[in-house]
Homo-oligomer: A and B are copies of this chain.
């Protein structure tokens, strides 16, 4: 009997579900619009349970084929107690014992993790960070987050909120205040004197050699590189994996990131770190469930 993991990536817009095989491949998918259900916790949970069953029916499987379920959520999660503490962008979720609720409903082991750690686990085992003992995975999007693999295991911190690289001080603000989506958007509007310009447009402009667009990404890369130089001096990492929506522009961000690290990180640290782009892209939040179930499942 083949064993699968169900990976569930809860986002502010969509809930994405995937059936993940032992090799870390997604063999079936579903998705739900979060907002339809977001005012009612029970309805969202019902919809997720239904979607899990639909996934199984699609593949002619039953719950008996499911080894475990891993759920990534955007907020403060206690993976050890299995409790959703707080989701800033989904109202009404405070101290929800989601692990127990889902386990009782599904009859299979369920584990929770925050979304960025889920992505980090996926990149570590199946993505750009394969085989690394000391690396950081950064997500550039509306928020700027990060997950850490240190000494060969996930590092969650004392209260499970480690990795908040977007909130590291930079000049009088924080990194996120310079390179979070909203800031980049607003800055692009000013530079191109067009408040409807999208970041995708600035990417396209850079591709055809537009100097202002190249400079735009270069500046963002310099901010990212400055913060990363500090992280590298502090943690002496082997690799930094960059993901999230904004990382689509990796080729225009990377030169400034690398140059700034070389300038501002110490020689030993900067000589041994690689900065690379995510390999699994948007699937990482689902695939990470594979590792989460095994990692937390063993400890329990």
B-binding residues in A (CB < 8 A):
76, 133-134, 146, 150-151, 153, 155-165, 167-169, 171, 226-227, 229-231, 233-238, 264-266, 268-269, 272-273
Contact = CB atoms under 8 A, between A and B. Distances in A.
A259 to B, nearest CB: 14
A161 B269 contact: yes
A47 B270 CA distance: 37
Given A134-B158, A150-B151, A266 B164 contact: yes
A29 B280 CA distance: 57
Contacts of A134: 157-158
Nearest to A166: B233
Given A165-B234, A168-B234, 6 more contacts: A76-B268, A157-B235, A158-B238, A162-B235, A169-B229, A169-B264
A156 B236 CA distance: 8
Contacts of A231: 234
Nearest to A154: B151
A279 to B, nearest CB: 20
A268 B86 CA distance: 11
Nearest to A163: B234
A236 B156 CA distance: 8
A227 B235 CA distance: 14
A236 B168 contact: no
Contacts of A265: 167
A226 B273 CA distance: 25
Contacts of A153: 151
A151 B133 CA distance: 14
Given A234-B164, A234-B231, A155 B159 contact: no
A161 B266 contact: yes
A155 B150 contact: yes
A169 B230 contact: yes
23 contacts: A133-B158, A134-B157, A150-B150, A150-B151, A151-B153, A157-B235, A157-B269, A158-B236, A158-B273, A159-B268, A161-B236, A162-B235, A163-B234, A164-B233, A164-B234, A164-B236, A164-B269, A165-B233, A165-B234, A167-B233, A167-B265, A168-B230, A171-B171
Contacts of A163: 234, 236
Nearest to A237: B158
